Amino acid sequence: MNDVVTKEDLRQFGLELLGSIENLITQTKEGHSDVTEQEWIKSRQVRKLMNMSPGSVQNLRVTEKVRFKKIVGSYYYNKADLLKLFTDEKCK
């Protein structure tokens, strides 16, 4: 049981560790970029996707132009309603 760890062993471990971290970061980024595939999206995602202010998003909710749900203090908006609303506005 007298295992000796060499510099090469440590270098190899470091490379494997960095590879694993890079894979995790890539998977996380891909998971967050799937906003376009979600049916209900949070207010922050709506603002980022549509380049809107928080007040504009609230106005859409208050005027009932888009469906929304409030779950534990967070508002979720129907993505299809948002896209339809803004494609209709572009056609006018």
Q: Considering the domain boundaries, does residue 62 fall inside one? A: yes
Give me the helix-helix angle, 79-91 and 43-50, nearest 10°.
30
Q: Considering the domain boundaries, does residue 2 fall inside one? A: no
Looking at the structure, tell me whether residues 70 and 51 fall in a common domain: yes
**Is residue 41 a contact partner of residue 35, using CB atoms and an 8 Å limit?**
yes
* Domain of 68, in residue numbers: 40-88
- Tell whether pTM > 0.85: no
Query: Cα(59)–Cα(82) distance, rounded to whole angstroms?
Result: 13
**Token pair in block for residue 61:** 């909710």
**Tens of pLDDT, residues 39-59:** 899 999 989 888 899 999 999
Q: Considering the domain boundaries, does residue 1 fall inside one? A: no
Looking at the structure, tell me whether residues 44 and 74 fall in a common domain: yes
Q: Considering the domain boundaries, does residue 3 fall inside one? A: no
**Is residue 37 a contact partner of residue 78, using CB atoms and an 8 Å limit?**
no
Q: What is the domain count for the chain?
A: 2
**Tens of pLDDT, residues 22-40:** 888 877 766 555 555 678 9
Looking at the structure, tell me whether residues 47 and 22 fall in a common domain: no
